[in-house]
Amino acid sequence: MRPSLTFQIKPDLPAPLAPLAEIAANLWFSWHAEAVDLLQRVDHNLWREVCHNPVALLNQTSQERLEALSQDSGFLAQLDRVAELMNAYLDATKCTFLNGRAPDGLKIAYFSAEYGLADCLSLYSGGLGVLSGDHLKSASDLNLPLVAVGLAYGQGYFNQYLDAGGWQQEEYHPNDFYNLPMALMTNDDGSELRISVDIEGRPLQARVWRVSVGRVPLYLMDSNLEDNPQDLRSITFQLYGGDRQMRIRQEILLGIGGVRLLDALGIKPNVYHMNEGHSAFAGLERIRQIRQERGLNFNEAREVVRASNCFTTHTPVPAGNDYFDPELVRRHFAGYVADLGISLPVLMAYGRIDPRNDSEQFCMTVLALRLSGFANGVSRLHGRVSRQMWQGVWPHFPEVDLPIGHVTNGVHIPSWISNDMAYLYYRHLGPGWHENPDSEAVWKTVEDVPDSELWRVRERRRSQMVTFIRNTLVAQLSRRGAGTEELRRASETLNPEALTIVFARRFATYKRAVLIAQDADRLAEILNDPKRPVQIIFAGKAHPKDEEGKEFIRRVVALTRDKRFMDKLVFIEDYDINTARYLVQGADVWLNTPRRPMEACGTSGMKAVANGGLHLSILDGWWDEGFKPGLGWAIGRGDEPSDKYPLDEMEAKALYRLLENEVVPLFYRRDAYDLPRDWIGYMKSSLRNLCPAFNSHRMVEDYAENGYLPACERYQNLVKDDFDGARQLGSWAQRIMENWSQVQVTEAQSSAPRSMTWGQEFPVSASVRLGGLQPGDVAVDAYYGRLGTDGEFAERMTHPLEPVGESDGVWRFEGKVLAQSTGLLGVAVRVVPYHPLAGNKYALGLAAWS
């Protein structure tokens, strides 16, 4: 029986408690300790039961309790203080770090398939979602004009539990959007705001929910409507659920629907940031809209979109990129391409590394790269790996020159540090640390924190983590029907004073969770030293279809039942934001053992570092650029997989040596006051050097400086004067494509002697056949640098050559180059299409070389 009418009933808050509803409706509360403390005071037990959901807390608190709180002067004083803090935060309008440099009307749209924002919002699976959440929080703190778009998943990602054999099982719990910090968007007449996309000729409708993330609005689309066919209702059922057909439909809704959503809200972004390839169809919808509204052709509209799109790729694992069978794409886009002004084969070419290979699958990452003027990996090493992976998209350029840079990820430190650590920072670093977590000057004052105070905080957080682990183990064992003795043992497991190592992350096989257990006997010796005890906590989920990852979990669970490791090694089920917070706040050592270079970045270790933990990791991801002796430890030498070396065995032995000879002795080396002074020195060095660099404020500022502001400037140049620049650029691009086959460097020469001295300037000239093009259509560069022993360029620089004349259809270009390195110097001449409105020389992917 289904109801004829539905109503949303809100709690009857007494007037003095009215600000509570506003605080509960904005995720600002989740990174402000006093706001969390206030909500806990409403009902501490209920707060835990509702998974820290402030809306459910108020909805389920009895009217008697609410009346009592309205008469509690202490509670009301704290409520007024928190409300005043939040209102002052929300009322601020200045984006300080830009110092007035932002172009007028700057508006950034951020697209992501998942968001990890708060304990109560199950809209994420792991690191990508948490990174998206931290991005929004820092954008809010920095007052960057950003709006975010995603999907409202009815069940989100799975909850994990283990069976008696240690095998991961999955269960899904529904999200009750009406009892979450979400608001249903409506039209002026009170009806639901809806958008529509086409799915194989059928309309799919989606309603829209708003989540307030401080000053940043996040809009989420929900297809679970009775007006939709049953198979389409389920599109927003589960994050990454279903088959490839379900995935392409989710991504159509995210990308195409997301652009239509912003249009329906009257939001006109001039910069779009696609966080991973899931939302790449947004580029197509932007082209369609511009064509429809402005009468531009495909090439002209494409240039506007490419100029203002930013794209971040997050995975160096080929399987982590979305590929779709050509027939699947054809079925879903056969009717859409007409509105783009192109044919289906042309659309398919935009998603293929080799546009002419009709059998190649359609890749969302390739589509995003081809439609973006700014692209980046998420660490320095990942930028290099990404250029290797996607070199085929720009076959005419050396790998090192490809237009994929890097913006290293960071974490939103206020969301992840403990209250104890936050209080310590306020006292010794000053209140400015919260507003300026990327300031080196702020973190330099960590040296002034008394060792004893810092160590007391670390010990207190380790103890609280152990208590949390014990309670969690008892709960998960009780669900499995464990006996009294097993439950008693779980309630006493781990030692709150022992050196504690944490390995918590997704159980993908390349992350090698079992590397530390490769030699179980040696590990047992390390953990069971009676004078220097060590313990390890594991947590993490494997993808539901990743049987190897599940096998890794089973192997870890089997170790926990080995008598040698009982009470020394535990596995915690259902790793989520709440569990992660306890672990990063309490870990002494954060362990990371990926197979280099497969970890794109890895941000969990950054969170542990901000809490005073030390990082022990393979030189991969962010640690490849963050590690220095005295800040933590590097496992191995940065080797990459090779048939020549048994890498797992080598790095496992290196890990054991580090633990035996450096990590464990350093932790247990105490002075007369029982303080590990050298360990504390490592902690302070780590905080001082790593926190200002690896935080999301710095990350968002990097995106703004290198991605958003240039993209906005390019966009404005193209759209002014009724899109005159776009029309020029589109015509130019068409002319280039039609004539490029005629472009040829017929000669490159120099009159300089073959032996010169450093700092000497020498001439370079080139003869270039341009066919139907003119010198103003191209950039001709001397491409030069020191050569390695293999005869290839070891260093690369470019210097423009200028046209000096034409004869028989061949143009002569000349310039002078400065010898800036010693050794063997090589020079080549490169011709690329160039237009001042295009933004870079790689947009069309074309080059001619001497």
- Confidence class for position 5, pLDDT limits 50, 70, 90: low
Backbone angles phi, psi at 132, to 5 degrees: -60, -45
pLDDT band, very low/low/confident/very high, at 94 (cuts 50, 70, 90): confident
**Strand arrangement, sheet containing 825-833:** 744-749, 761-769, 810-818, 797-807, 778-786, 825-833, 848-849
pLDDT at 2: 65
**Chain segment 134-151, per-residue pLDDT in tens:** 999 999 999 999 999 999
Regarding predicted confidence, which is higher, 294 or 101?
A: 294
pLDDT at 352 over 60: yes
The pLDDT-based confidence of 398 (bands split at 50, 70, 90) is very high
Write the burial class of residue 676 (CB in 10 Å: 0-12 exposed, 13-18 middle, 19+ buried). buried
Is the pLDDT confidence value at 433 over 90? Answer: no
- What's the gap between Cα 14 and its chain centre? 41
Q: How confident is the model at residue 700 (pLDDT cuts 50, 70, 90)?
A: very high
The mean per-residue pLDDT over the stretch 234-256 comes to: 94
pLDDT value at position 97? Answer: 84
Question: What pLDDT digit, counting tens, does each position of 440-457 carry?
Answer: 999 999 999 999 999 999
How high is the pLDDT of residue 8?
66
Give the separation between CA 270 and CA 310, rounded to whole angstroms: 11
Measured between alpha carbons, how far is 528 from 445 in angstroms, rounded to an integer? 38
Confidence band (pLDDT; 50, 70, 90) for 1?
low
State the pLDDT at residue 133: 98
> Which range, of 171-185, 478-492, 672-686, averages the lowest pLDDT?
478-492
Query: In angstroms, what CA-CA distances link 836 with 272, 731, 739, 777, 829?
Result: 21, 14, 19, 10, 20
pLDDT at 557: 95
- 276-328 pLDDT, tens digit per residue, is 999 999 999 999 999 999 999 999 999 999 999 999 999 888 778 999 999 99
pLDDT of 423 over the 60 cut: yes
The upper half-sphere exposure of residue 547, i.e. CA atoms within 13 Å in the direction of its Cβ, equals 0
Query: Residue 331 is inside which H or E element, if any?
Result: helix 326-333
pLDDT digits (tens, 9 = 90+) for 191-223: 999 999 999 999 999 999 999 999 999 999 999
Stronger pLDDT, 4 or 269, i.e. the higher one: 269
Q: What DSSP assignment string belongs to 262-280? A: HHHTT---SEEEEESGGGT
Tokens of 415: 């969301």
Q: How many of the other CB atoms lie within 10 Å of CB of 734?
A: 14
Both tokens of 331, joined, read 């079925």
Bridging pattern class, strands 499-504 and 534-539: parallel
pLDDT by residue (tens digit) across 639-663? 887 655 578 999 999 999 999 999 9
Burial class (CB in 10 A: 0-12, 13-18, 19+), 757: exposed
pLDDT reading at 18 higher than 70: yes
Packing angle between helix 298-308 and helix 709-739, nearest 10 degrees? 140
Cβ-count burial 235-274 (b if 16+ within 10 Å, e if not): bbbbbbbeeebbbbbbbbbbbbbbbbbbbbbeeebbbbbb
The residue-averaged pLDDT of 47-71 equals 95
Residue with tokens 């439909």: 249
CA distances to 91, 97, 100, 835 from 94, rounded to whole Å, are 10, 9, 9, 35
Q: Is residue 473 pLDDT above 60, yes or no?
A: yes
User: Would you state the pLDDT for residue 434?
Assistant: 82
Q: Cβ(588)–Cβ(664) under 8 Å? A: no
Are 162 and 573 within 8 A, CB to CB? yes
Relative orientation angle of helices 73-91 and 33-42, to the nearest 10 degrees: 140
Of the given ranges (260-274, 465-479, 748-762), which has the lowest mean pLDDT? 748-762
Q: What is the CA radius of gyration of the chain?
A: 29
C-beta separation of 116 from 124 below 8 A? yes
Residue 190 has pLDDT above 60, yes or no: yes
Q: Mean pLDDT in the chain?
A: 94
Give residue 655's Cα distance to chain centre. Answer: 28
Q: What is the pLDDT of residue 642?
A: 67
Identify the three-state secondary structure at position 233: helix
d(CA 191, CA 185): 9
How do residues 571-600 score in pLDDT, each as one tens digit? 999 999 999 999 999 999 999 999 999 999
- Other beta carbons within 10 Å of 678: 15
pLDDT 10s digits, 783-798: 999 998 888 888 889 9
Terminal-to-terminal C-alpha distance of the chain: 76
Of the candidates 805, 795, 803, the residue with the CA atom closest to the CA atom of residue 831? 803
Banded model confidence at residue 759, pLDDT cuts 50, 70, 90: confident
Mean of the pLDDT values across residues 523-547?
A: 95
Q: Average pLDDT of 754-778? A: 92
Question: What pLDDT, in 10s, does the model give residues 601-640?
Answer: 999 999 999 999 999 999 999 999 999 999 999 999 888 8
* Residue 480: per-residue pLDDT: 85
Residue 120: the pLDDT is 94
Sequence length of the chain is 850
The token pair at 487 is: 């439950």
Pull the structure tokens for residue 182.
Answer: 């979400």
Q: Locate tokens 């993209």: which residue?
A: 711
Question: Which pLDDT value is given to residue 6?
Answer: 66
Establish how many alpha carbons lie within 13 A of residue 638's alpha carbon, considering only the half-sphere containing its beta carbon.
9
